[in-house]
């Protein structure tokens, strides 16, 4: 679903093929041919690295995995998140609050930080940098 949302542009990457044989899927009607939807959700240009949960969370997940007796997993590096240089102390505190169940604290802090002069799609970093220079 993530790839469909972030790696495809429906106007360019969706194709309806009207000639799928009905033998490949549940029957949708009495005809001999059916249609199918093809979506190109492949990576088309370089993207920023994806964030992974921090080591402490991945180690806890690994312990739970073993505790549940699930099949052994093979870890591939990087198997936990690390700083990509785009994370600050206030965001770290928001994350810690969320993990610790302090969602109300995050909500109150977010409420106090709201502004009417910023478009919703403005990167948070841009706003925070401007606030530091004032």
pLDDT tens for 24-62 read 656 666 667 778 889 999 988 876 667 788 888 899 999
Q: How many domains does the chain have?
A: 3
The answer, yes or no, to whether residue 134 has pLDDT greater than 60, is no
Q: What is the pLDDT of residues 67-123, one digit of tens each?
A: 999 999 998 888 888 877 777 888 889 988 998 999 999 999 889 888 888 888 888
pLDDT classification of 132: cutoffs 50, 70, 90: low
Is residue 91 located within the same domain as residue 79?
no
Query: Quick check: is 45 in a domain?
Result: no
pLDDT of 51: 76
* 92 and 133 in a common domain: yes
pLDDT of 124 higher than 90: no
**What is the structure's pLDDT at 28?**
63
The residue among 89, 88, 87, 59 whose CA lies nearest residue 75 is 59
Query: Based on the domain organization, do 67 and 99 belong to the same domain?
Result: no
Task: Look at residue 24 in the predicted model and tell me its pLDDT.
Answer: 61
- Report the distance separating Cα 73 and Cα 4, nearest Å: 27
State whether 78 and 100 are in the same domain: no
Q: Which two tokens stand for residue 41?
A: 């959700």
What are the residues whose beta carbons fall under 8 Å from the beta carbon of 115, sequence distance 6 or more? 127
* Judgement on whether residues 79 and 91 belong to the same structural domain of the protein: no
Q: Which domain holds residue 76?
A: 51-83
| 14-21 and 33-39 beta bridge pairing | antiparallel
- Report how far residue 81's alpha carbon sits from residue 84's, in angstroms, rounded to the nearest whole number: 9
Whether the pTM exceeds 0.85: the reply is no
């Amino acid at each position: 679903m993530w790839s469909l949302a972030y790696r495809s542009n429906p106007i360019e990457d969706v194709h309806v093929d009207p000639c799928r044989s009905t033998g490949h899927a549940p029957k949708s009607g009495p005809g001999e041919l059916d249609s199918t939807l093809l979506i190109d959700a492949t990576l088309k240009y370089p993207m920023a690295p994806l964030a992974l949960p921090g080591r402490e969370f991945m180690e806890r997940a690994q312990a739970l995995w073993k505790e549940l007796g699930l099949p052994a997993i093979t870890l591939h590096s990087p198997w936990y998140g690390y700083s990509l240089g785009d994370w600050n102390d206030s965001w770290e505190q928001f994350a810690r609050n969320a993990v610790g169940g302090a969602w109300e604290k995050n909500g109150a802090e977010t409420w106090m930080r709201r502004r009417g002069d910023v478009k919703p799609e403005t990167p948070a970093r841009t706003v925070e940098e401007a606030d530091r220079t004032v």
